[in-house]
A = this chain, B = another copy of it.
Amino acid sequence: MRFLKVDSLEQAREKLLASLQEVFTKTEQVRLQEAAGRCLAEQVYCPEMVPDFRRSTVDGYAVMARDTTGAGESIPVFLEIVEEIAIGHPAVHTLKSGECTYVPTGGMLPDGADAMVMVEYTELFDEKNVAVYSTVSPGTAVVQVGEDAKKGQLLLDKGARLDAKSIGVLASIGRKQVEVFRPWRLTVVSTGDELVLPGEEKTTCKIYDINTSALCTLAREHGMEVVEAVTLRDEEELLEQVLKRALKSSDIVVISGGSSQGKKDMTAELIDKIAKPGVFTHGLALKPGKPTILGTDEASETLLVGLPGHPVAAMMVFELLIIWLQKRLYGEKEKPGIPAVLESNIPGAPGRETCQMVKLVQSEDGYIARPVFGKSGLMSTLTQADGYVLLEVNQEGLRSGERVMVHLL
């Protein structure tokens, strides 16, 4: 048997990080409306005090707090209305003792005022005077200058995946454009004489190609751009043609299938033939994920990835290597995992890490993680599993009742 360059997950990850960093961290400017789902490639600082004026949080009257001392439900204090502020317009009149100014929610407090009295605690006495039935202290219902964010304060970290909240933050400081990482361009190839395209007629011994659809979806879910997706028969020339084209068009070429010994060698040999320096990892000490191949072509700056043919294994390895790489290079925050209690034992694999799919079942005070086993493990795993638990290489296995962290898939 041929001696393979089998790597642990950690070794493979280190090699990935060391290769082709530059092409994977290119950035571009996009308009805010198109930035959702993209990954931020700049540190976003607050360009000014927010708010940059003293803002009321209620509809009511801006007052000097000390003028209201002693006011209560049955003892009003009378103040003269000297101005009515419209929202979006500056206050002009500087308040003096005994005066007040009407300010709507979000409006600007006039100089001299230091608190708001809600309109509900007041009563118009006549056109120019209002009765105040509440004592307020300085700062009541007022957002101070810079209270929400100070000038120069870090608002969003490089690597943030732009969701509705962060798009809101960018809008709040007036950003129209934002620097994000350029999507990785992918070619996805599935190989196998047994593969039939969805929608086509299938004879016995054939199976529908799952990997192309599943991997393209997974890649797009992480903001990648699929340049080409093809299903090929097991013919070296066909694969070579596609790979050569992909070196020109893509940053990553993902080849799945070829899980049998002979085919695995074909993929590796082909990578070594068309790419320099070629294969750097041939086999992964991970269950599932053994037949993983990694290589690079430096001239075209392309990463070539041979994935297992098994759909669940292919998706797992894509997640643990390619999406992991993206998170690391982008500085993206990990999504919080879900703490859970194991329902049954998970056996470890000697000398290998284990990635065990689990289903989450809600319990009284949290979640139970139910391992999804099955040698077949195609649809049954895909339909039942919510996520996975990662067992370290020298971990003996996990026992029923142990607490684990479930990563959603």
Contacts and interface: CB of A to CB of B under 8 A. Distances in A.
Interface of A: 1, 32-33, 36-37, 46, 50-53, 55, 57, 59, 86-90, 104-108, 119-120, 141, 143, 147-149, 155-156, 162-177, 192-196, 198-200, 202, 204-218, 220-221, 234, 259-263, 309, 311, 315, 336, 338-339, 360, 362, 365-367, 374-380, 382-383, 385-386, 403, 408-409
Contacts of A59: 260-262
Contacts of A176: 198-199
Given A210-B171, A221-B163, A221-B164, A155 B379 contact: yes
Contacts of A336: 338, 360, 362, 367, 386, 408
A106 B164 contact: no
25 contacts: A36-B217, A37-B221, A87-B192, A87-B234, A88-B194, A104-B260, A104-B263, A106-B309, A107-B194, A147-B376, A148-B374, A162-B217, A163-B221, A164-B409, A165-B382, A166-B382, A167-B214, A167-B217, A168-B217, A169-B379, A170-B213, A171-B209, A336-B386, A365-B403, A366-B366
Nearest to A200: B174
Given A90-B205, A119-B261, A196 B174 contact: yes
Contact of A108 (B33, B119, B199, B205): B205
A108 B170 contact: no
Contacts of A198: 32, 170-171, 174-176
A352 to B, nearest CB: 16
Contacts of A1: 120
B164 A383 contact: no
Q: Which 10 residue pairs of A and B lie closest in terms of their CB atoms, listed nearest first?
A: A176-B199, A168-B214, A88-B194, A88-B193, A164-B218, A171-B213, A164-B217, A339-B366, A104-B260, A148-B376
A143 B362 CA distance: 31
A383 B380 CA distance: 39
Given A155-B383, A173-B208, 6 more contacts: A51-B207, A51-B376, A87-B192, A170-B198, A174-B199, A339-B365
Contacts of A221: 36-37, 163-164
Contacts of A163: 217, 221
B88 A213 contact: no
Contacts of A220: 36
Contacts of A36: 217, 220-221
Contacts of A205: 53, 87-90, 107-108
A65 to B, nearest CB: 16
A338 B380 CA distance: 25
Contacts of A141: 375
A49 to B, nearest CB: 11
Contacts of A378: 50, 148-149, 172
A172 B51 contact: no
Nearest to A291: B105
A403 B199 CA distance: 49
Contact of A106 (B170, B194, B216): B194
Nearest to A142: B375
A57 B290 CA distance: 14
Contacts of A89: 193, 205
A163 B213 CA distance: 10
Contacts of A260: 59, 87, 104-106
